[in-house]
Each structure stands twice: as structure tokens, then as C-alpha cells.
Structure 1
Amino acid sequence: MPFAFCLLPFAFCLLPFAFCLLPFASCLLSPVFCLLNSANPNYY
């Protein structure tokens, strides 16, 4: 599919933006994991 190959450089252009959002995503996910751990005591 040539259309996907056409979008490939655009995806690589967005890659640094995704890495920039990564710490923000992990910051949002850490309370979720904390809640999951407290709800599941035999998780470890």
C-alpha cells in the first residue's frame, strides 16, 4: 500500500512529539497503577 509509505515520514516527524508526551503519560498512569496495586493485595 503506497499510502502507508507516504505517511511514514509524517509518522517519523511526530515521533519526537510522542517521546515528549511520554513522561506526561507515565505521570498520568502512575496513580492508576497505584490504585490497581492497592485494590489487588496479592499482586506481588
Structure 2
Amino acid sequence: MTFAYCLLPIAYCLLPIAYCLLPVAYCLLPIACCLLPIAYCLLPIAYCLLPLASCLLPIACCHLP
């Protein structure tokens, strides 16, 4: 309980900073929307590499003492 009371002033201190960063977040949102299709494009590649990772895992486990 005392730990929470200790964190309270820090939260109050960070609140104005959060409000200050809000417009920056709005500015970065279109960029994120622009990068979203790229992420969707890379997703199948990640799924393709997933079996490869599971294939390499036993090899890595084999090298562990």
C-alpha cells in the first residue's frame, strides 16, 4: 500500500508529459496506418519462417549442455 502512495507523485509528474506527447501520437498515427499494410505483407513471411524456427529449436537444444 505504501508503495502505491510512493508512486502517486510520479504519476502526477508524468501526467503533463503524457498530455504533451498526445499531439505527437496523433501526428504519428497516419505513419502507423501507412506501415500497417507493410506489416500485413510481412506476416505471411513470418508464418513461413515459423516452422523453420521450430526445426532449428531442437538443434539449439542439442548444443546446450
For normalisation by structure 2, the TM-score amounts to: 0.50
Asked which structure has the greater CA Rg, the reply is: 2
Q: Say which of 4, 12, 22 aligns to 1:8.
A: 22
Provide the aligned length of Structure 1 versus Structure 2.
38
* Residue aligned with 2:36, SS: helix
Aligned to 2:40: 26
Give the unaligned 5+ runs of structure 1: 40-44
Two-structure CA RMSD over aligned residues (Å): 1.5
Moved over 4 A (4+): none
- Deviation digits for residues 1-38 of structure 1, max 9, x if unmatched? 100010000000100000000000111112222454xx
- Give the alignment's TM-score, normalised by structure 1: 0.68
Unaligned runs of 5+ in 2: 1-14, 52-65
